[in-house]
Amino acid sequence: MKEKIFAFLCLMSLLLSGCYEDKGNYDYNNLLKITITGFLLEKDDGTESEITSLTVTAGQVVKVRPILSFENEKDKKNLAYTWLFKDKVIGNEEKLNYTTEEVLSGYVLFDMEDLDTGNHFRATFPLSVLDPYAGSGFLVLSEKEGEPCLSFLMGAYTDGNDQFTPYIGLYQKENGKVLPKDVFKIHEHFRNNRHSTQIMAVCKSDFVDINAYTFKEEIRAAGLFMSGEIPTISDVMFMQWVDLVADEQGRLYKRVKSTNELFHSNRFLPSFVKDEQGEVLQGIRIIPGDISNSKNFCLLYDTYKKRYLIISDWKGSYGNTLAKIVVAQHGSGEQGWSEGFTRLDRMDGYKVVYTGHYMNPSEYLYPAANRYFSIIEKDGVYYHQHFRVNRDYTTGAMDVTEDIQGILPGLGGIMQENSIFCILRYSFGFDASIHPYLLMSSGKSLYLYDITERDSNSAEGFFKLYEFDSPIVAMNGECISGTQLGVGLEDGSFHVLNMTLAKDHLMDKEKLFLWSLPAGELGTIKDIQYNVQNQSPNFY
């Protein structure tokens, strides 16, 4: 037995010695060598450009090929190709042709294997796949060819930007269907989480919530009301914690959400909202404002009892006043109202024509307050009101200060029954540009009023900013920096106006017009909303 084992060991020694010698005799200098020096991206027009990294939006096709250098090249190469992204094979050809789907970031690995020798050659480049519609711009609701149409005109909010990408009928394109026939406005709401913005198409019989980054439909009103029935909707306000839906009589349904990290949680109560005396509120007009975490309230106007109300959206570390509604009172008590100011809790005899919110960037986080500008009328005389609504940081108590009132000259002669008012979001931009303006439509004419004219004895009133070729039907000035005004005309055309120092450029088309979309593209315009998206309110 020992002899057999010894013989076997000798044989194995010879075999192993032969393998080693073969390996040692192999000439590595003659092997195929490949160097990957970079990558070329094929553009839409067929041309190529070298890249070191690549950023695309979901749904975009990535066409990339490697730049190769060969040594000891053979007439016939036996190569295998593999493209990997996030541990997934996305291609097996020399040229990558990959349709992106998910929002991801990482490195694309290109691997080439010489099948004759088993050698691998590799290189990488970073790829970021972003949401397809991640950006600011104007949302436009219109009717085109008899169907509701929701479009997104995407473009930066920076001063002087004149580049917008129009995505016409974007909701229809991404969902393969149209919105309900009775859709009448666009509302934007937010949450304290990644992808913080949601777009709501508000209908009389429904609302359709849409992902702001993909334009895919997320949810409808069915199932969100405890009663099981959707009221006839006239307006909505979805805040951080408290959501409101107004019916056609201005009565409010509310829900208090259990978390601010979701767009929707809990259901709307079946009963109407009541005031502090237990009476059902009616004829309520919702006044949009900054609903960020440093403000936490919403202003309402009670058209029945001629008074302003404030509803709390505040939830602090040691308590909250969520959904509490109070009558607007002065912070210094009954005697605190300024002389000549029509107090907000007693507007009897006055018609509130318009109330809008504006702010200064310096007040973005502090104080916990919103500024408002209002137009009121009595006996044919128009007045402007400035006031600030405040929330106490500790108790959540809400009151009014800095109340000023003066005569608003020149309005009666130009205002029409269907005039639209719009105040720019920021009275002063982040870039220190100046645009403290209220805009008003009057047929084809667009008028401007400088809201810093607070002196009741000032004779300066409205200036004609521009005369369009068609009547104005919609406007929006909620651009984050306050530099852009979106204007929709009856003929279906849309225009973005530069509002920086606009008062100095009356009737100057070259200075005022940043970008336009001609008639016929959008159809009949019904509503405009600025999509703030990445600059959404701070819900920390």
Least confident of 38-42, 519-523, 530-534: 530-534
Across 486-498, average pLDDT: 98
Q: What is the pLDDT of residues 354-381, one digit of tens each?
A: 999 998 777 766 788 999 999 999 999 9
Residue 28 above 80 pLDDT?
A: no
pLDDT at position 9 is 37
Across 26-31, average pLDDT: 66
Residue 8 above 60 pLDDT?
A: no
Residue ranges per structural domain of the chain: 28-130, 226-408
Residue 538 above 80 pLDDT?
A: no
Full-model pTM: 0.84
Beta strands 54-57 and 119-130 are: parallel
Residues 236/244, Cβ–Cβ less than 8 Å: yes
- Which residue has better confidence, 40 or 32? 40
pLDDT at position 11 is 36
CA distances from 432 to 301, 373, 510 (A): 32, 21, 22
pLDDT at position 265 is 96
Residue 26: exposed, middle, or buried by beta-carbon count in 10 A (0-12, 13-18, 19+)? exposed
pLDDT at position 457 is 46
CATH topology of domain 28-130: Immunoglobulin-like (2.60.40)
What rounded mean pLDDT belongs to the chain? 89
Across 495-518, average pLDDT: 94
DSSP 410-479: T-TTT--TT--EEE-SBSB-TTS-B--EEEEEETTEEEEEETT---TT-----EEEEE-SS-EEEEE---
pLDDT at position 2 is 41
Residues 90/83, Cβ–Cβ less than 8 Å: yes
